[in-house]
Amino acid sequence: MRPFESTIPLTRAQDIIAAAAAPLDRVETVALRTARGRVLAGDVMAPADVPPFSRAAMDGYAVRAADTAGATRGTPVRLRCIEQIYTGQMPVQAVAAGLCSEVATGAPMPEGADAVVMVEETAADGDAVQFFAAATAGQNIGRQGQDIRRGQLVLPAGAVLTASRVGAIAALGHTEVRVYASPRVAILSTGNEVVEPGEPLAPGQIYDINSYTLAAVVAEHGGVPVIHRTAVDTIEDLSRAVDECLAEDVLVFSGGSSVGTRDLMLDVIRAKGEVLFHGIAVKPGKPTAFGRIGGKLAFGMPGYPTSCLTNAYVLVVPVLRRLARLPAQSIRVERMPLAARVNSTPDRHQFYTVRVEQGRAQPAFKASGDITSMSQADGYIEIDAGTTVVEAGTLVDVKFF
Amino acid sequence: MRPFESTIPLTRAQDIIAAAAAPLDRVETVALRTARGRVLAGDVMAPADVPPFSRAAMDGYAVRAADTAGATRGTPVRLRCIEQIYTGQMPVQAVAAGLCSEVATGAPMPEGADAVVMVEETAADGDAVQFFAAATAGQNIGRQGQDIRRGQLVLPAGAVLTASRVGAIAALGHTEVRVYASPRVAILSTGNEVVEPGEPLAPGQIYDINSYTLAAVVAEHGGVPVIHRTAVDTIEDLSRAVDECLAEDVLVFSGGSSVGTRDLMLDVIRAKGEVLFHGIAVKPGKPTAFGRIGGKLAFGMPGYPTSCLTNAYVLVVPVLRRLARLPAQSIRVERMPLAARVNSTPDRHQFYTVRVEQGRAQPAFKASGDITSMSQADGYIEIDAGTTVVEAGTLVDVKFF
């Protein structure tokens, strides 16, 4: 075995990873219907005005504003209605002095009219319409190009496509959009003991958990998980599996990252590329390696499911969002008292899972090998490397999964 | 035209909708690989212990703790190593007094041993191993069933499947999971003027925006959008379109919900079911109808894209999450000064979009018909019905999209 000679602080590990990661330049065209959450690869300019014509912004009557001067409830103005203009049809008559046309919200404005009086301020009797309020020129009209002007920048490259931004692109008539590619993440569980769920377990074997948790985290944060078959602990099998993973942007291996004689992942990364660090002063997740293979980022995660998943949140999510050009994750944080005393390992930054019960943070951490340390928790608190005890009642910031 | 006789307050509208909506009871079996974000339809019990055997929790040596009594750096204890036990293989030798076995993290414990000493506290010379610290019985062992005991409740019905919970189900060896069905939402844009993006625009026509924005919001909040072809403003076409939508759980129509003579959606809802309200004292989004058709919830949204999308966030998202049995949406809120004075319409609760610029909330609202009111905003502030002016510099809570 080859014990850790040293570990590096978490912040140093994060800096090394950030320095090695550059946003992806690869772009692709996707259907606008599926573009939610993607990142625009180029500026979106308007090919035409939106709306493409001036339209009524209210249900009511299109008038010449001057014709309604002085109108009140007591002294209404009377105009003759010459046309009903619905949406989707062009007016055929111009509005001359003394005339008006009924307009539906969204219908094109007739020539001659320069204002819309809302129906609530009118009363109709056949084709005679009474107006109870004076209009001002331009009122209740959505002018041609008011929303978006032809040639205008509608959305800049780098914009994340929220619902309204998808809508703005639809408004231009586009059905496709150029976006940056989503980072593809190769996920590889390793270990002689690891068996795919659904298969029978032989003595000494356990089910693969990490490819499931890692894939969920990757998909949650804008990546595309590419799950590989489990590899056994031989240089040959690991080496072949890693080669297969090199087609993707990021490689996340779990297992074989520690100090045992069959912890070979470090050797494989070193043989094919470079190891940038091995061992982080965190708990859980200390035996973690990070390196580069042929320009691809490679994470060697502990096999323990809680160690692996914690590291995925702390180390992989930020880099994934950076590659995807997404903003940093927005984590929900709530401050509350700790329900029971927690002891923390000296000299390691600890992520300690908690369950929220009756407004207090109940310690939920069992062991790094126990997935229930996380699956029965709502979130975690962080305990810095210099702190060994957090007393019950201390106000802590719970960060929710 | 049929002017609004009255509107109801937003909170009343929300109460009416909540009272009409019950969580879905429909369940389905999905692949665990795709189950992230879904809601468990039944308790998940453990069919076997996890781990299924006691295992080493550290790389080191399995010992009888009593054999290491008194060991220190100065006075090490020496034991003879009889076996190397790797993960995935069963030990063949028992550890008797004076003996030890090398164990890898995750490897099954050999018979006779009751503790693991981590490699960092040992030194090996051939098959002789020195121990520099006394072990206590049970240390560094992951006991059989420590993570999950056979027969134990692992996850209760109603649990939302986060990454770690997907992992806990994988740990049991399952590849599928029973979850509640995701609400299916029929989305129908109506209006003679509305044209599908990609088609040419005739005079007086505009592109459909609402089916794009609504689908994005529905997918974001656990629903399945089912987009229908656009319907024109005739009772016959609307009626046929609505009938087609009745296969889904929720119906969201946009357009035709106001007071014009061709705003027929209200008539269609009333003819096929019941209208529970029409008109909400909000801006944007006042001309909104809600009802029930054959047990399905039906929203008649304004055709204006910003009105429609605001209502989707305010009215549809809560009900969708309720149907899906998801917790209420977690909205990111930041308090900051308003950059410029905002006038609000009296007697209407206003959702006023803002852009965050240099730590201040810059008003971004243009008009309800303008999608750029939202696509160029980062979030919104709420201005209650009793407030007509919010002065520049006022601290406001910006809620992010």
The rounded distance, in Å, linking the Cα atoms of B176 and B155 is 14
* pLDDT at position B216: 98
Residue A256 pLDDT class (50, 70, 90 cuts): confident
CB contact under 8 A, B171 and A206: yes
Q: Is B239 part of a structural domain of the chain?
A: yes
CA distance B273 to chain A (A): 26
Q: Name which of A119, A164, A197 is nearest B170 (Cβ-Cβ).
A: A197
Q: Is A5 part of a structural domain of the chain?
A: no
Q: Name which of B119, B167, B219 is nearest A212 (Cβ-Cβ).
A: B167
Q: Name which of A52, A88, A367 is nearest B57 (Cβ-Cβ).
A: A367
What percentage of chain B exceeds 70 in pLDDT? 98
Mutate to test the interface with A, among B122, B207, B214 (most CBs of A within 10 A): B207
* Surface-to-core class of residue B48, CB atoms within 10 Å of its CB (0-12 exposed, 13-18 middle, 19+ buried): middle
Same domain for A14 and A154?
A: no
* pLDDT at position B11: 96
Residue B120 tokens read as 């960092």
Instruction: Determine contact: B375 vs chain A, CB below 8 A.
Output: yes
CA distance A118 to chain B (A): 10
Same domain for B171 and B44?
A: yes
CA distance A158 to chain B (A): 13
pLDDT digits (tens, 9 = 90+) for A31-58: 999 999 999 999 999 999 999 999 999 9
The rounded distance, in Å, linking the Cα atoms of B246 and B253 is 12
Instruction: Determine contact: B9 vs chain A, CB below 8 A.
Output: no
Same domain for A188 and A247?
A: yes
Listed in order, strand segments (DSSP E) in A166-254 are 176-180, 184-189, 194-195, 206-207, 224-227, 250-254
CB under 8 Å, gap of 24 or more: what pairs does A236-243 form?
A238/A190, A238/A264, A238/A265, A238/A268, A239/A268, A239/A271, A239/A272, A241/A188, A241/A190, A242/A188, A242/A268, A242/A269, A242/A272, A242/A293, A242/A298, A243/A272
Calculated CA dihedral for residues B196, B201, B202, B208, nearest 10 degrees: 40
The rounded distance, in Å, linking the Cα atoms of B108 and B55 is 4
Instruction: Determine contact: B312 vs chain A, CB below 8 A.
Output: yes
Listed in order, strand segments (DSSP E) in A72-172 are 77-85, 99-103, 115-118, 122-125, 128-131, 141-142, 153-155
Same domain for A176 and A189?
A: no
Determine the average pLDDT of the residues in B126-149. Answer: 97
CB contact under 8 A, B89 and A59: no
DSSP state of A78: E
Same domain for B162 and B258?
A: no
CB pairs under 8 A between A and B: 315
Q: What is the DSSP string of A238-277?
A: HHHHHHHHTTSSEEEEESS-SSSTT--HHHHHHHHSEEEE
For residue A180, how far is the Cα from the chain centroid? 14
CB B188 within 8 A of CB B254: yes
Nearest CA in chain A to B205: A88
Same domain for A215 and A166?
A: no
Query: Does the bond joining B200 to the residue before it have cis omega, within 30 degrees of 0?
Result: no
Find residue A352's DSSP bridge partners: A381
Q: Which residues of B touch A220 (CB under 8 A)?
A: 36, 163
Q: Which of A324, A352, A372 is where one domain is finished?
A: A324
Q: Is the pLDDT of residue B348 over 70?
A: yes
CB A140 within 8 A of CB A58: yes
CB A165 within 8 A of CB A77: no
Q: Is B4 part of a structural domain of the chain?
A: no
pLDDT digits (tens, 9 = 90+) for B74-96: 999 999 999 999 999 999 999 99
Strand A141-142 versus strand A55-56 pairing type = antiparallel
Q: Which residues of A touch B258 (CB under 8 A)?
A: 59, 105
Q: Which of A307, A324, A341 is where one domain is finished?
A: A324
* pLDDT at position B4: 67
Mutate to test the interface with B, among A139, A220, A371 (most CBs of B within 10 A): A371
CB A283 within 8 A of CB A349: yes
* pLDDT at position A3: 60
* pLDDT at position B263: 80
CB A119 within 8 A of CB A59: yes
Determine the average pLDDT of the residues in B286-300. Answer: 95
Nearest CA in chain A to B195: A173
Same domain for B191 and B75?
A: no
The rounded distance, in Å, linking the Cα atoms of A346 and A389 is 9
Q: What is the CATH number of the domain that holds A363?
A: 2.40.340.10
* pLDDT at position A117: 97
Q: Is the pLDDT of residue A257 over 90?
A: no
Query: Is pTM, for the whole model, over 0.90?
Result: yes
- Helix (H) and strand (E) counts for chain A? 8, 28
Instruction: Determine contact: A314 vs chain B, CB below 8 A.
Output: no
Q: What range defines the domain where residue B165 resides?
A: 27-50+146-180
* pLDDT at position B260: 67
Q: Which helix (H) or strand (E) holds B218?
A: helix B210-220
Averaged pLDDT of chain B: 95
Residue B304 tokens read as 């204006």
Residue from B163, B156, B203 nearest B35 by CA: B163
Q: What is the DSSP string of B299-362?
A: EEE-SSHHHHHHHIIIIIHHHHHHHHTPPPP---EEEEEBSS-EE--TTSEEEEEEEEETTEEE
Query: Would you put residue A172 in left (φ > 0), alpha (ψ -120 to 50) or beta?
Result: alpha
Residue from A51, A77, A94 nearest A135 by CA: A77
* pLDDT at position A219: 98
Backbone angles phi, psi at A383, to 5 degrees: -125, 120
Residue from B338, B341, B328 nearest B380 by CA: B338
The rounded distance, in Å, linking the Cα atoms of A75 and B162 is 66
* pLDDT at position B259: 65
Same domain for B192 and B298?
A: yes
* pLDDT at position B257: 72
Instruction: Determine contact: A111 vs chain B, CB below 8 A.
Output: no
Query: Cβ–Cβ contacts within 10 Å for residue A136, how many?
Result: 12
Same domain for B126 and B256?
A: no
Query: Cβ–Cβ contacts within 10 Å for residue B152, how many?
Result: 14
pLDDT digits (tens, 9 = 90+) for A269-314: 999 999 999 999 999 999 999 999 999 999 999 999 999 999 999 9
Instruction: Please name the residue that has the structure tokens 């985290």.
Output: A217
CA distance B36 to chain A (A): 6
- Indicate the number of domains in chain B: 4
Q: Is the pLDDT of residue B1 over 60?
A: no
Q: Which residues of B touch A171 (CB under 8 A)?
A: 206-207, 209, 305, 371
CB A320 within 8 A of CB A223: yes
Q: What is the CATH number of the domain that holds B121?
A: 2.170.190.11
Determine the average pLDDT of the residues in B225-231. Answer: 96
Q: Which residues of A touch B33 (CB under 8 A)?
A: 212, 215, 227
Instruction: Determine contact: B222 vs chain A, CB below 8 A.
Output: no
Determine the average pLDDT of the residues in B60-79. Answer: 97
CB A184 within 8 A of CB A223: yes
Query: Would you put residue A106 in left (φ > 0), alpha (ψ -120 to 50) or beta?
Result: left
Q: What sign results for the dihedral spanned by CA atoms B126, B127, B128, B131?
A: positive
Q: Is the pLDDT of residue A252 over 80?
A: yes
Instruction: Please name the residue that has the structure tokens 């429609």.
Output: B308
* pLDDT at position B256: 80
The rounded distance, in Å, linking the Cα atoms of B281 and B344 is 12
Same domain for A163 and A187?
A: no
Mutate to test the interface with B, among A87, A144, A154, A353 (most CBs of B within 10 A): A87
Mutate to test the interface with A, among B33, B45, B147 (most CBs of A within 10 A): B147
Residue A306 tokens read as 């809680």
In angstroms, what is the C-alpha Rg of chain B?
32
Instruction: Determine contact: B172 vs chain A, CB below 8 A.
Output: yes
CB contact under 8 A, B366 and A146: yes
Q: Which of B180, B197, B229 is where one domain is finished?
A: B180
Determine the average pLDDT of the residues in A54-79. Answer: 96
Q: Is B2 part of a structural domain of the chain?
A: no
* pLDDT at position A259: 65
Residue A263 pLDDT class (50, 70, 90 cuts): confident
Q: Is the pLDDT of residue A62 over 80?
A: yes
Instruction: Determine contact: A172 vs chain B, CB below 8 A.
Output: yes
Same domain for A355 and A291?
A: no
Q: Which residues of B touch A87 (CB under 8 A)?
A: 191-193, 204, 233, 262
CA distance A106 to chain B (A): 8
Residue from A282, A289, A226, A213 nearest A256 by CA: A289
Averaged pLDDT of chain A: 95
The rounded distance, in Å, linking the Cα atoms of B390 and B401 is 21
Determine the average pLDDT of the residues in A137-144. Answer: 97
Determine the average pLDDT of the residues in A168-186. Answer: 98
Three-state secondary-structure class, residue A160: strand
Q: Is B3 part of a structural domain of the chain?
A: no
The rounded distance, in Å, linking the Cα atoms of A225 and B383 is 43
* pLDDT at position B220: 97
CB contact under 8 A, B262 and A167: no
Q: What is the CATH number of the domain that holds B258?
A: 3.40.980.10
| Helix residue ranges, H only, A290-351 | 305-311, 317-324
CB contact under 8 A, B167 and A191: no
Determine the average pLDDT of the residues in A332-345. Answer: 96
CB B101 within 8 A of CB B52: no
Nearest CA in chain B to A152: B372
Residue from A151, A172, A156 nearest A40 by CA: A156
CA distance A362 to chain B (A): 18
Three-state secondary-structure class, residue B373: helix
The rounded distance, in Å, linking the Cα atoms of B398 and B355 is 9
Q: Name which of B173, B174, B198 is nearest A173 (Cβ-Cβ).
A: B198
CB B50 within 8 A of CB B147: yes
Q: Is A1 part of a structural domain of the chain?
A: no
C-alpha to C-alpha distances, A224 to A102, A216, A220, A289, A300, nearest whole angstrom: 53, 10, 9, 22, 19
Instruction: Please name the residue that has the structure tokens 């703790």.
Output: B65
In angstroms, what is the C-alpha Rg of chain A?
32
Nearest CA in chain B to A378: B162
CB contact under 8 A, A87 and B36: no
Q: What is the CATH number of the domain that holds B160?
A: 3.90.105.10
Residue B151 tokens read as 């027969």
Residue A7 pLDDT class (50, 70, 90 cuts): very high
Instruction: Determine contact: A128 vs chain B, CB below 8 A.
Output: no
Strand B55-56 versus strand A342-343 pairing type = unpaired
pLDDT digits (tens, 9 = 90+) for B3-48: 666 899 999 999 999 999 999 999 999 999 999 999 999 999 999 9
Q: Which residues of A touch B367 (CB under 8 A)?
A: 57, 142, 146-147
Residue from A38, A350, A42 nearest A222 by CA: A38
Q: Name which of A164, A303, A370 is nearest B374 (Cβ-Cβ).
A: A164
pLDDT digits (tens, 9 = 90+) for B261-290: 678 889 999 999 999 999 999 999 999 999
Same domain for A255 and A315?
A: yes
Q: Is B1 part of a structural domain of the chain?
A: no
Residue from B42, B297, B318, B46 nearest B180 by CA: B42
Enumerate residues 39 to 98 of chain B having a beta carbon within 8 A of any beta carbon in chain A.
Answer: 48, 50-53, 55, 57, 59-60, 84, 86-90
CB contact under 8 A, B191 and A59: no
CB contact under 8 A, A204 and B170: no
Q: Is B114 part of a structural domain of the chain?
A: yes
